[in-house]
Amino acid sequence: MDDTILSCDVFIVGAGPVGLSVAAALPDDLATVIVHQDREIGLPVRTSGACWMQDVARLGIPDGLFKPMRRNEVFSDKEQALLELGDEIPVILDTPKLY
Ligand SMILES: Cc1cc2nc3c(=O)[nH]c(=O)nc-3n(C[C@H](O)[C@H](O)[C@H](O)COP(=O)(O)OP(=O)(O)OC[C@H]3O[C@@H](n4cnc5c(N)ncnc54)[C@H](O)[C@@H]3O)c2cc1C
């Protein structure tokens, strides 16, 4: 067993979206930030492709890799609902092409 003792200003467990967002938002004047990840960052990929238009635009994801949802129709055996979506437009990413 490795007995090395590490010292740091901030220690973050997990390099998922939350851990990496926290690390990116920390002040620049911290001397040492450690993000501890128990396996390869980003794997396994956990997304079915749902995202928001504003994030797609912010990330510069090219047209053709996502499809905006303007409305949502939900069906059951006896009922049907139509949901008109507002200004915050959800998108479905083409996840394999995007990666
Ligand atoms: C099947 C599925 C589909 C999804 N589809 C979408 C989608 O389309 N759009 C969307 O926005 N969200 C989607 N989500 C939700 C999204 O994946 C989560 O909201 C997001 O991953 C949560 O981020 P997180 O950083 O909190 O946790 P995680 O992504 O789980 O990250 C935690 C990280 O910590 C690591 N870790 C855990 N324990 C330790 C430890 N003891 N030591 C070191 N490292 C550790 C793990 O390996 C992992 O990488 C989906 C989730 C699932 C399961």
Q: What is the pLDDT along the chain (99 residues), one digit of tens a residue?
A: 678 888 999 999 999 889 999 999 999 999 999 999 998 887 877 788 999 999 999 999 999 999 999 888 999 999 999 988 888 899 999 988 988
What pLDDT, on the 0 to 100 scale, is given for residue 1? 65
Considering the entire predicted model, what is its pTM? 0.76
Query: What whole-number distance in Å separates Cα of residue 49 and Cα of residue 66?
Result: 9
Q: Cα of 43 to ligand 1 centre, how many Å?
A: 9
Query: What whole-number distance in Å separates Cα of residue 11 and Cα of residue 36?
Result: 7
- Nearest atom within ligand 1 for CA of residue 20: 25
Delimit the domains of the chain by residue range.
Answer: 1-42, 47-99
State CA 19 to chain mean position distance.
11
CB 97 less than 6 A from any atom of ligand 1: no
CB 38 less than 6 A from any atom of ligand 1: yes
Query: Which of helix, strand or coil describes residue 70?
Result: coil
